[in-house]
Structure 1
Amino acid sequence: MTLDASVAVRRGSLDLQLDLTVADGEVLAVLGPNGAGKSTVLRVLAGLLRPDGGSVAVDGEPWDDVPAGTHLPAHRRALGVVFQDALLFPHLSVGENVAFGLRTRGMPRRTRHEAAAAWLERVGLEGLADVRPAQLSGGQAQRAALARALVGDPALLLLDEPLSALDARTRLVVRAELRRHLAAFGGSTVLVTHDPVDAMALADRVVVVEHGRAVQTGTPAEVSRRPRTDYVARLVGLSLLAGTGTGGVVRLDAGGEVAVAEDVHGPVFAAVRPESVALYLSRPDGSPRNVWPATLVGATPHGVTVRCELAGEVPLVADVTATAFAELGLAPGSQVWATVKASEVAVYAR
């Protein structure tokens, strides 16, 4: 493993205990809500914050070892960092910004400028070496920041919410470009984000952090398909219902029952996708296995659909088309009936 870290930090109400390992060429996303400890982890890895316990080693070299009293300062760590707001030096040209790290390492001027020019071409900024950062768009600034981070061939690349300051359209383009560059990067990458789309699109593996602890680890597909906390479920758009399986029924811990298509036993999660929930103004005809009365407590436009939050015996999230939402005359406070096919309920062990 290029990165092997076991970090303990206590700051105010935050009690962070987190182990991270990242292999050469691997991208690990640290995903979690605000205050979970994501940025604290990044600051420790970057050498900007001394951990209270544990260790950080890269390529076998100790960067932090609290018991041994080791702490390698940030400028001596073989790393590159891309921040949320690019943070280019405004008084330097774009080319000088990219070459800055090489300059601090004593590289000859001509060599570092050639390296910077090559990287500017790789990120699509050829011809802009002499302009100032203020003349760049947001997407161009982030490309320059990425070039600055990678030009020194670091062992570890840290990405701190690198796309969150971009508008939606630019974000799509830069995300695709970033994915291409990460695929070619031979070192380890740690991406800190609260955006599940960035994590799922860029990472090989995801660690979900809540309240300073890792609550779930796996590939993006595994985490999105089988969330283990309500936070993760909401991120990926699922309703997560904890209960106990008895045959073809899951009796929920909070009350109510959900019929499922398989024989299950013991503590389980039942997960329902928003598109699997149908809404009616009156109890539907026939005998659907899952039908519950509910109250619409929130409605948010979500692309071409409206995402509806439902309160009741079985709390759910439903996606309905904008047309159907209008035809049903739905509004917060509306009383509805929600149905879900048993075959549309995913069940897995807790």
Structure 2
Amino acid sequence: MSLRAHVVVRRGALLVDVELAVADGEVLAVLGPNGAGKSTVLRVLAGLLAPDGGRVTVGDDVWDAEDRHVPAHERSLGMVFQDHLLFPHLSTTDNVAFGLRTRGVRKAEARTAAARWLARVGLDGFGDRRPTQLSGGQAQRAALARALVVDPRLLLLDEPLSALDARTRLTVRAELRRHLAEFAGCTVLVSHDPVDAMALADRVLVVEDGRVVQEGTPAEVARMPRTDYVARLVGLSLLPGVGRGRSVELDCGGAVAVAEDAQGPVFVAVRPGTVALYLARPDGSPRNVWPATLVAATPHGSTVRCDLDGEVPLTADVTATAFAELGLQPGTRVWASVKASEVAVYPR
């Protein structure tokens, strides 16, 4: 493993004690609820916060130890923040070139490298614009170029997609996946969104109350949640299939209508809260409606989590009141409906 870290930080009543390891070319997603300690871990890795204990190494280089703390500007890393944090007074080119300039690269050489990276992230011709003249997606692409232009050994992504609208998020997520696949260093992604983790990460680390509660591939974590938070986090239904335009033919035999054009092998992800249940087929002609059988029902906070079996196996969350009014129980035949706009689809 290129990155090895044992992060120990006391934040008030919370003791963060997290160990992680990431290989070159690997993407690790750190997931957890607000206040769990995941941002603290990221700040330590970035050199923005000195830990109270533990050790951080990248290859043979020691960044943090009992008697050593390498500051952020001396670490071989790139970082992308939720709100991109581009310098408003600089052009897009100079924003991307900034890291190279701080490392002593001549201005002309740095701007040339920045222009190459802007072209790679689809911003060729946008170099003279200020950040306020860029869309949210364009600004985040520029922030990614700024992080990667320095050829870092470690790339840190702090909720890089959460500030984007749904349509832009799908596009930027796909582009980010491509760039991460080409990145030779190790990547740590902090996110609260399981779809981002499923789409981008090779492994997932779940942190609660400052401790690692589960680790594994996204599929392993989704299949065997170990805490209530993990169960809610990965409670989405993830269905493999083949995109045929605005429809995905599922490997299990059903089909799902989607709002975005999809081609080739894809995953369809459906959140439990977007699944509506009816005792009779709903009126009109919804694009996604399937017969199903309720096979299990589990109280889940203020809702009841319903596991459904059918041509499209799903999980639905309904309120306790609706569950009672519908007279649901294991074995009940229902109709499940999901709006195409609520279905997430991304490449396998």
Instruction: For residues 133-178 of structure 1, give each alpha carbon's deviation from its aligned partner in whole angstroms, at most 9, with x where no partner exists.
Output: 0000000000000000000000000000000000011000000000
Equivalent residue letter for 1:3: L
Equivalent residue letter for 2:192: H
Equivalent residue letter for 1:59: G
Report the alpha carbon displacement of residue 132 of structure 1 after superposing the two structures with TM.
Answer: 0.3
Report if aligned partners of 2:294, 2:306 keep a CA contact under 8 Å in 1.
no
Structure 1 SS opposite 2:143: helix
Report if aligned partners of 1:24, 1:187 keep a CA contact under 8 Å in 2.
yes
Q: Which runs of 5+ in 2 are unaligned?
A: 238-270, 281-292, 333-348
Q: Trace 1:287-298 onto structure 2 (pairs within 5 A).
A: none
Report if aligned partners of 2:173, 2:196 keep a CA contact under 8 Å in 1.
yes
Equivalent residue letter for 2:65: D
Which residue pairs with 2:143 in the alignment?
Answer: 145
- CA distance, structure 2, for counterparts of residue 74 and residue 187 of structure 1: 17
Instruction: For residues 244-292 of structure 1, give each alpha carbon's deviation from its aligned partner in whole angstroms, at most 9, with x where no partner exists.
Output: xxxxxxxxxxxxxxxxxxxxxxxxxxxxx969998769xxxxxx99687
Structure 1 SS opposite 2:328: strand
Report if aligned partners of 1:157, 1:189 keep a CA contact under 8 Å in 2.
yes
Equivalent residue letter for 1:77: R
Pair 3,174 (structure 1): closer, same or farther in 2 beyond 3 Å: same
Equivalent residue letter for 2:330: T
Which residue pairs with 2:61 in the alignment?
Answer: 61
Pair 6,280 (structure 1): closer, same or farther in 2 beyond 3 Å: same
Which residue pairs with 1:201 in the alignment?
Answer: 199
Bigger Rg, which one: 1
Which residue pairs with 1:27 in the alignment?
Answer: 27
The reply on whether 1:48 has 2:48 as its aligned counterpart is: yes
Find the partner of 1:336 among 308, 327, 332: 327
Structure 2 SS opposite 1:232: helix
- CA distance, structure 1, for counterparts of residue 40 and residue 57 of structure 2: 17
Report if aligned partners of 1:297, 1:332 keep a CA contact under 8 Å in 2.
no
- CA distance, structure 2, for counterparts of residue 189 and residue 290 of structure 1: 40
Which residue pairs with 1:264 in the alignment?
Answer: none
Pair 19,121 (structure 1): closer, same or farther in 2 beyond 3 Å: same
Report if aligned partners of 1:56, 1:63 keep a CA contact under 8 Å in 2.
yes
- CA distance, structure 1, for counterparts of residue 299 and residue 108 of structure 2: 68
Instruction: For residues 88-130 of structure 1, give each alpha carbon's deviation from its aligned partner in whole angstroms, at most 9, with x where no partner exists.
Output: 0000000000000000111011211110000000000000111
Report if aligned partners of 1:279, 1:336 keep a CA contact under 8 Å in 2.
no
- CA distance, structure 2, for counterparts of residue 149 and residue 233 of structure 1: 33
Which residue pairs with 2:132 in the alignment?
Answer: 134
Report if aligned partners of 1:277, 1:319 keep a CA contact under 8 Å in 2.
no
- CA distance, structure 2, for counterparts of residue 183 and residue 295 of structure 1: 40
Q: Which runs of 5+ in 1 are unaligned?
A: 240-272, 282-287, 299-308, 311-315, 342-350
Which residue pairs with 2:174 in the alignment?
Answer: 176
Which residue pairs with 2:286 in the alignment?
Answer: none
Report the alpha carbon displacement of residue 337 of structure 1 after superposing the two structures with TM.
Answer: 2.6
Find the partner of 1:155 among 148, 153, 156: 153
- CA distance, structure 2, for counterparts of residue 236 and residue 199 of structure 1: 10
Query: How many pairs were matched up?
Result: 277
Which residue pairs with 1:3 in the alignment?
Answer: 3
Equivalent residue letter for 2:215: T
- CA distance, structure 2, for counterparts of residue 150 and residue 7 of structure 1: 25
Report the alpha carbon displacement of residue 13 of structure 1 after superposing the two structures with TM.
Answer: 2.1
Report if aligned partners of 2:96, 2:114 keep a CA contact under 8 Å in 1.
yes
Report the alpha carbon displacement of residue 237 of structure 1 after superposing the two structures with TM.
Answer: 1.9
- CA distance, structure 2, for counterparts of residue 152 and residue 177 of structure 1: 19
Which residue pairs with 1:15 in the alignment?
Answer: 15
Equivalent residue letter for 1:62: V
Instruction: For residues 151-210 of structure 1, give each alpha carbon's deviation from its aligned partner in whole angstroms, at most 9, with x where no partner exists.
Output: 000000000000000001100000000000000000000000111011110000000111
Equivalent residue letter for 1:168: A
Report if aligned partners of 1:277, 1:340 keep a CA contact under 8 Å in 2.
no
Percent sequence identity is 66
Pair 295,198 (structure 1): closer, same or farther in 2 beyond 3 Å: closer
Find the partner of 1:234 among 226, 232, 236: 232
Pair 115,13 (structure 1): closer, same or farther in 2 beyond 3 Å: same
Pair 291,178 (structure 1): closer, same or farther in 2 beyond 3 Å: closer
Pair 130,291 (structure 1): closer, same or farther in 2 beyond 3 Å: closer
Equivalent residue letter for 1:117: A
Report the alpha carbon displacement of residue 334 of structure 1 after superposing the two structures with TM.
Answer: 2.6
More displaced stretch, 13-22 vs 176-185:
13-22
Which residue pairs with 1:262 in the alignment?
Answer: none
Report if aligned partners of 1:48, 1:73 keep a CA contact under 8 Å in 2.
yes
